[in-house]
């Protein structure tokens, strides 16, 4: 490993994140809950503030200077998203509030109009609730059937079972790129190839991949991809849907109202061209502009560098966790360089509840996640009430891992002392 050579990445960027420089319960904050939401750099905070201070106006609707400036910045952010994921056209990028709304858009606009009784939708047991519940709604209303891919013994996506499940009845496959609980990186390109051989469509939930590694929608070959801005250093309330142009053109609008129209008459309406057909009402303008700033920030660092640095953090974390015999980590193991899984670890510790672990770690200033992580079906599949989860971003350091490990050991010793 060459940790020393890449450690300067965190050193370089930490000053950009004001929230990291505080104490929690009298201890320096160690924020290790990045899979839930990322922190925001000054560039993003300033972009949001600058919009409201300097050119707050509605987009697309005004001829005055402020409206023109807001529109330019809002649409420039769309261009940045398209380039960031290598979309073929800016028209393939639809602003949404988050990934959940993006999946619902596809479910209601495409699913309700293309699925019929007996058609099959394939998901996996590791999906986030946002990639299960909308398809349950659609299945209930259309008569489509949900099928679920299980796990391999290594707790990864069971590709062989997927090959057995998919058939001519399959009309949609919707799979997470990176599991927010198992940390496994699913073979989305291969899944896309198999899906398309059967004439079905493929949606990728990329919430846990887009912020951490290069993602190329044309290389993957997916029909749709969704992501949330708040996990990639942008504000909450903004996300995006990528869709192949011909699919989006064929899909009817999801919401009705202003902005998504061409002409409105008393008895009918015509709709705007892409991407505006799917963006009804006044959008989250400042948040979209700030998402563009977040993409500038990530691009300036380099997604390859972010991935490599986080892989080294992952390798170090697993080395340290391996020294604690009471811990059981879920999902695949990384290789010696931290590759082969995401920069997160969901785990259990003997008979100690995950919430108790999180509560005591918080007393030491260490912020981790505990619970089901919006993957209740996966936790039931694994026979678990909850897991604790630690997750990294590029501003985390090896020293923070040391603080976490020390606090974790002390917490385990505390409960062992109480319960024997």
CA distance 219 to 199: 18
Instruction: Tell me whether residue 273 is exposed, middle or buried, using C-beta atoms within 10 angstroms of its C-beta: 0 to 12, 13 to 18, 19 or more.
Output: exposed
Own/partner long-range contacts of 311-315 (Cβ < 8 Å, ≥24 apart): 311/337, 311/338, 311/339, 311/343, 312/1, 312/2, 312/3, 312/6, 312/337, 312/338, 313/338, 313/343, 313/392, 313/396, 313/397, 313/398, 313/401, 314/338, 314/341, 314/342, 314/343, 314/345, 314/392, 315/1
What are the residue numbers of the active site?
Answer: 374
* Residue showing tokens 């496959």: 173
Q: Which residues pair with 344 in a beta bridge?
A: 391
Helix, strand, or coil (residue 179): coil
Q: Is the dihedral of CA 54, 60, 61, 62 positive or negative?
A: positive
Q: DSSP labels for 314-378?
A: HHHHHHHHTT-TTEEEESPPP-TTS-SS-SEEEEEETTB-HHHHHHHHHHTTEE-EEE-TT-HHH
Q: DSSP labels for 63-116?
A: -SHHHHHHHHHHHHHHHHHHHHTT-S-GGGEEEESSHHHHHHHHIIIIIHHH--
């Amino acid at each position: 490993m060459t940790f020393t050579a890449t450690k300067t990445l965190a050193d370089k960027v930490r000053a950009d994140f004001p929230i990291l420089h505080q104490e929690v319960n009298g201890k320096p904050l160690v924020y290790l809950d990045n899979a839930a939401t990322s922190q925001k750099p000054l560039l993003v905070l300033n972009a949001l503030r600058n919009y409201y201070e300097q050119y707050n106006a509605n987009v697309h609707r005004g001829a005055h200077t402020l409206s023109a400036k807001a529109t330019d910045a809002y649409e420039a952010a769309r261009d940045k998203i398209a380039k960031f994921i290598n979309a073929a056209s800016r028209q393939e990028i639809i602003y949404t509030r988050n990934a959940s709304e993006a999946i619902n858009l596809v479910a209601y606009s495409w699913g309700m109009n293309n699925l019929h009784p007996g058609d099959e939708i394939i998901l996996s047991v590791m999906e986030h609730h946002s990639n299960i519940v909308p398809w349950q709604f659609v299945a209930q209303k259309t008569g489509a059937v949900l099928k679920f891919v299980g796990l391999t013994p290594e707790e990864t996506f069971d590709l062989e079972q997927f090959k057995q499940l998919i058939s001519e009845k399959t009309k949609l496959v919707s799979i997470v790129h990176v599991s927010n609980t198992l940390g496994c990186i699913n073979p989305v390109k291969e899944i896309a190839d198999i899906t398309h051989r059967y004439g079905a469509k493929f949606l990728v939930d990329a919430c846990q991949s887009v912020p951490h590694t290069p993602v190329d929608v044309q290389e993957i070959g997916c029909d749709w991809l969704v992501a949330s801005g708040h996990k990639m250093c942008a504000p909450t309330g903004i996300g995006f849907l990528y869709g192949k142009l011909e699919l989006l053109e064929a899909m009817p609008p999801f919401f009705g109202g202003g902005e998504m129209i061409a002409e409105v008459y008393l008895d009918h309406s015509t709709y705007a061209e892409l991407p505006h057909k799917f963006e009804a009402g006044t959008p989250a303008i400042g948040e979209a502009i700030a998402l563009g700033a977040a993409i500038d920030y990530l691009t300036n660092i380099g997604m390859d560098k972010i991935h490599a640095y986080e892989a080294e953090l992952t390798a170090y974390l697993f080395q340290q966790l391996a020294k604690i015999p009471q811990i059981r980590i879920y999902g695949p193991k990384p290789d010696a360089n931290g590759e082969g899984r995401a920069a997160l670890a969901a785990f259990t510790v003997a008979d100690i509840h995950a919430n108790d672990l999180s509560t005591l770690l918080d007393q030491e200033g260490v912020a981790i996640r505990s619970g089901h992580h919006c993957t209740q079906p996966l936790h039931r599949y694994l026979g678990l009430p909850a897991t604790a989860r630690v997750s990294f971003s590029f501003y985390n350091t090896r020293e923070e891992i040391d603080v976490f490990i020390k606090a974790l050991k002390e917490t385990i010793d505390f409960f062992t002392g109480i319960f024997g």
